[in-house]
Amino acid sequence: YVLGWSVLISAGCLAITHLAGITGSIAFFAMLYFVWGALLGGTTPALLSLISAATRNDRQGSVLGLAQSCQQGAAVVGIVAGVAVTQFIGLEAAFP
């Protein structure tokens, strides 16, 4: 049940990411980014609860810590990758 909702929310995030990529309006992009963040805010606790339920009791702390570390590491790598791409291709390619 939870996984089904996570798949639907992920599909919504994918659609919003596509719309944000093709928009030329900064205001519309900001609104989409807000909605995207709200959707992601719903998936993270659900996925962490699935991870917790699938983990033995004596390993939950380390597994949840690793999951949070991976999440934060991915956020940092994503920002660095975005900056690198815009520096290489140019901001005009992202926002024509």
Q: What is the DSSP string of the chain?
A: -HHHHHHHHHHHHHHHHHHHHH---HHHHHHHHHHHHHHHHHHHHHHHHHHHHTS-GGGHHHHHHHHHHHHHHHHHHHHHHHHHHHHHH-HHHH--
Give pLDDT, residue 2.
Answer: 65
Query: So what's the pLDDT on residue 63?
Result: 95
10-residue block means of pLDDT along the chain (96 residues)? 77 90 89 90 83 93 94 93 88 71
- Where are the domains positioned within the chain? 2-94
Q: What pLDDT does residue 43 have?
A: 79
- The reported pLDDT for the residue numbered 1 is 66
Task: Note the pTM of the prediction, 2 decimals.
Answer: 0.62
Contact 39, 6 (CB under 8 A): no
> Which pLDDT score is estimated for 21?
84
Closest by Cα among 14, 3, 1, 78 to 47:
3
